[in-house]
Amino acid sequence: MTAILTPSPGPRIDGAGGVAAWSRLEWDTAQFGFPAARVEPLEAAGGYWDARARQRVRLGRAVEECRQAGIRHLTARVDAGDAASIHALEESGFELIDGILTFHLRLEAVA
């Protein structure tokens, strides 16, 4: 069995002050039995309110493109400190499912 780990490229949604894109997830699609995709990256310039508003518009466009493409499961991964993206996702109907923890250790500091 061969696992496909990289998403298939999808459309980029560019605009003034930010970008969003979505990619088909072949492995997830095979596991779920229906089309899956991920929105990435979520980037927007400006302060919290401007970034949130821009992302909400781009997310709306991405969600509509995914619907038209037959995607039935759409996910997004954002940094836990990116409140503008988190709130834009929630306003667009996404629900927080889990958090991924990343640990690091500075090796030169280990005695």
- Position 58 scores a pLDDT of 86
Task: Give the phi and the psi of residue 45 in degrees, each rounded to 5.
Answer: -85, 165
pLDDT at 110: 60
| pLDDT digits 0-9 by tens, 20-77 | 689 999 999 999 999 999 998 677 788 999 999 988 888 998 999 999 999 999 999 8
Nearest to 96 by CA among 83, 105, 109: 83
The pTM of this model reads: 0.72
What secondary structure, in 3-state letters, does the chain show?
A: CCCCCCCECCCEEEECCEEEEEEECHHHHHHHCCCEEEECCCEECCCHHHHHHHHHHHHHHHHHHHHHCCCCEEEECCCCCCHHHHHHHHHCCCCCCCCCCCCCCCHHHCC
Predicted local confidence at residue 87, as pLDDT? 93
Q: What is the pLDDT of residue 6?
A: 41
Residue 1 pLDDT > 50: no
- Give bridge partners of residue 38 from the DSSP assignment: 23, 75
pLDDT of 111 reads 60
